[in-house]
Amino acid sequence: MKKYFLATNDVESTSIKFNKQRDITAEKVLKEGTPLLLDLYNKSEIKATFFFTGEIAEKYPEVVRMILPCGHEVACHGYSHEDEFAFDKMGYHDQVIHLRQAKTILEDISGTKVISFRAPALRVNEFTPKALEAAGFEIDSSIAPQRADSFLSFGALKKLNRLFSPRLPYYTSANNLAVKGDSSIFEIPISAFILPYIGTFMRINPALTKQLMILLDKESAFTGKPVNFLIHPNECITEDDEDTVARRSANIIKYLLAEKLRTRMKLNNLGKAAIDLYEEHLLYFKNKDYTFCTLKQYKNEYNK
Ligand SMILES: [Zn+2]
């Protein structure tokens, strides 16, 4: 059975260290994080997918242009990554407006048709499939099936149905991206098995993520499920200590127990260390004869 590895990259200005959107972070994503990932993909002859927020593309169009010569796919990560514009907070009309706005910006800069979407913080709701259709999208990659740690993240309860969502790619229902149905939106799930197969987890616990990698390879050989890894260029940068780590929760106990620990863990292996860890994963799949392609290419193969 042919095996696929989908390298997916969420490009945004979120500072992991300072827990907010920052222009300084966006500049580092442009000058450090994205070039490091592009070098790695070039070296390994890998085609990848880059999801950009409309905001970062508008302010730093060069970050979109720089991926084009390598044949990577330009995809959409919403317009804004701010909490107030999370897709699970917006109604149908606002979602369509945000999607169209971001799509237009990305298509104008890249001169390519943008059809793939990943929601900021993977937050979606019952309006998202129809909003995606209305805005001209064909592919979604916001669902991480059987990912148990979702319950510690934003919109946890709304992510409950993802515990039971299909593992193999599927066409979604018209009002739920996490279940099969007859919409025109093709879901390519992010790899997870209790734990998510993403850069954050790879940096927090490299050893356990390697076990997950081996497990996902076995599953892929058995079922044909593509491996879909999520990383951010903002994980591949280093930021200076010009500020204390932002305190987000008003509740001091919650802050001490959860956020401080969570933030400290999230700072592990940032910068070049993240690239080195990622390279080991890519080599593992390279040696196992995986095809590395974009989401658009994968969908074409699927429908052959
Ligand atoms: Zn994001």
pTM of this prediction exceeds 0.85: yes
Q: Cα(86) to centroid of ligand 1, in Å?
A: 10
Determine which helix (DSSP H) or strand (DSSP E) holds 274, and give its type and residue range. Answer: helix 272-286
Encoded tokens for 10? 């969420």
Domain with 298 in it: 4-302
pLDDT computed for residue 259 by the predictor: 66
How many angstroms separate the alpha carbon of residue 21 from the centre of ligand 1?
11
DSSP count for the chain of H helices, then E strands:
12, 14
Residue 22, class by beta-carbon neighbours within 10 Å (0-12 exposed, 13-18 middle, 19+ buried)?
A: middle
CB-count exposure of residue 196 (10 Å: 0-12, 13-18, 19+): buried
Question: Cα(283) to centroid of ligand 1, in Å?
Answer: 25
DSSP for 104-115 reads HHHHHHH-S---
- Rounded to the nearest 10 degrees, the angle between the axes of helix 272-286 and helix 206-223 is 30
Task: Determine the pLDDT at residue 144.
Answer: 87
143 closest CA partner among 176, 184, 174:
176
Cα–Cα distance measured from residue 218 to residue 16, given in angstroms and rounded to the nearest whole number: 32
Residue 242 sits at φ, ψ, to 5 deg, of: -85, 5
| CA–CA separation, 176 and 125 (whole Å) | 7
In a 13 Å sphere around the CA of 116, the CA atoms on its Cβ side amount to 26
Q: Give 10 Cα–ligand 1 centroid separation in angstroms.
A: 5
Q: Is the torsion defined by CA of 101, 104, 108, 112 positive or negative?
A: positive
Contacts of 196 (CB under 8 A, 6+ apart): 144, 147, 149, 190, 230
Predicted pLDDT of residue 17: 87
C-alpha 81 to ligand 1 mean position (Å): 7
Distance 168 CA to ligand 1 centre (A): 23
What pLDDT was estimated at residue 262? 67
Q: CATH code at 226?
A: 3.20.20.370
Q: How many angstroms separate the alpha carbon of residue 102 from the centre of ligand 1?
A: 14
| CA 287 to chain centroid | 24
The angle formed by the CA atoms of residues 208, 211 and 216, to the nearest 5 degrees, is: 125
CA distance 184 to 294: 19
CA-CA distance, 108 to 277, in Å (whole number)?
34
Reduced to 3 states (helix: H, G, I; strand: E, B; else coil), residue 20 is: strand
Distance of CA 62 from the midpoint of ligand 1 (Å): 19
The predicted structure's pLDDT at residue 250: 60
Spatial distance between the Cα atoms of 122 and 114, rounded to a whole number of angstroms = 18
3-state SS string over 115-136? CEECCHHHCCCCCHHHHHHHCC
Written as one letter, the residue type at 49 is T
Tell me, in angstroms, the distance from the centre of ligand 1 to residue 248's CA: 18
Per the structure, the count of domains in the chain is 1
Distance between Cα 94 and ligand 1 center (Å): 18
Distance from Cα 222 to the centre of ligand 1, integer Å: 31
- Residue 54 carries which side chain, given as an amino acid letter? G
What is the C-alpha separation between 295 and 283, in angstroms, rounded? 20
Tell me whether residue 253 is exposed, middle or buried, using C-beta atoms within 10 angstroms of its C-beta: 0 to 12, 13 to 18, 19 or more: exposed
Average confidence (pLDDT) per 10 residues, the chain, 304 residues: 96 92 95 97 97 98 97 98 95 98 98 98 95 98 80 58 82 96 97 92 94 96 96 93 54 66 80 96 97 98 92
